[in-house]
Chains A and B, each alone.
Chain A
Amino acid sequence: GQQVMQIPQYQHVQEGEDFTTYCNSSTTLSNIQWYKQRPGGHPVFLIQLVKSGEVKKQKRLTFQFGEAKKNSSLHITATQTTDVGTYFCAGPGGSSNTGKLIFGQGTTLQVKP
């Protein structure tokens, strides 16, 4: 079945260093979504990318959707302790507008002050 894979599983960085997580889908995606889950919390929607090669920025976060629409990345510049959490990518498991999302296993980011 459809799979979404993320690497790395864990990343420990010193505050101020950059961080990148990569997401790969076994199938072409109509869109890719990114979520952040703080320890003890629930996933919070960050962004959705739809177009091939799309790049979107949110302050220190840069999201990219691959040309083939099968991979994506999230890059955080100059990490802060508030960036701690698990970052998930997710792609639709069926029609693009249904609520069936296939999530990657997530990348857990630890930031040392």
Chain B
Amino acid sequence: KAGVTQTPRYLIKTRGQQVTLSCSPISGHRSVSWYQQTPGQGLQFLFEYFSETQRNKGNFPGRFSGRQFSNSRSEMNVSTLELGDSALYLCASSLQGYGYTFGSGTRLTVV
């Protein structure tokens, strides 16, 4: 079966711009979580969506938002980009909360 698909793989944006990242979970997986990975902070939880509802939220500013569609695909948006938002953004999906399958990630560089 197809894995978790994230697009785009790479992005370069300018400070102040906004960006939208996309994630298609494994078919049948209704839980989609987003993580930010940086060398300094490691893997940090952003938010989780389940059946189009945000079920959990991490400690990130309101510039970070997300949503999930009826087909379980999810998007995350970052507005007013800052240099510190440069990171690998990972999406993960799961069927019943047992083990999460991660996508290859979107590498965002803010210049």
Contact = CB atoms under 8 A, between A and B. Distances in A.
Interface string A77-113: 0000000000010101110111111111110000000
Contact of B45 (A41, A97, A101): A101
Nearest to B43: A103
A1 B104 CA distance: 29
A53 B64 CA distance: 39
Interface in B83-111: 90, 92, 94, 96-105
B99 A42 contact: no
A48 B98 contact: yes
| Interface of B, helix, strand, loop or mixed by DSSP | strand
A99 B33 contact: yes
A78 B44 CA distance: 32
B43 A100 contact: no
Interface of B: 31-33, 35, 42-45, 48, 50, 55-56, 58-59, 90, 92, 94, 96-105
CB-based closest 7 A-B pairs: A97-B97, A99-B33, A99-B48, A45-B99, A100-B56, A103-B43, A42-B102
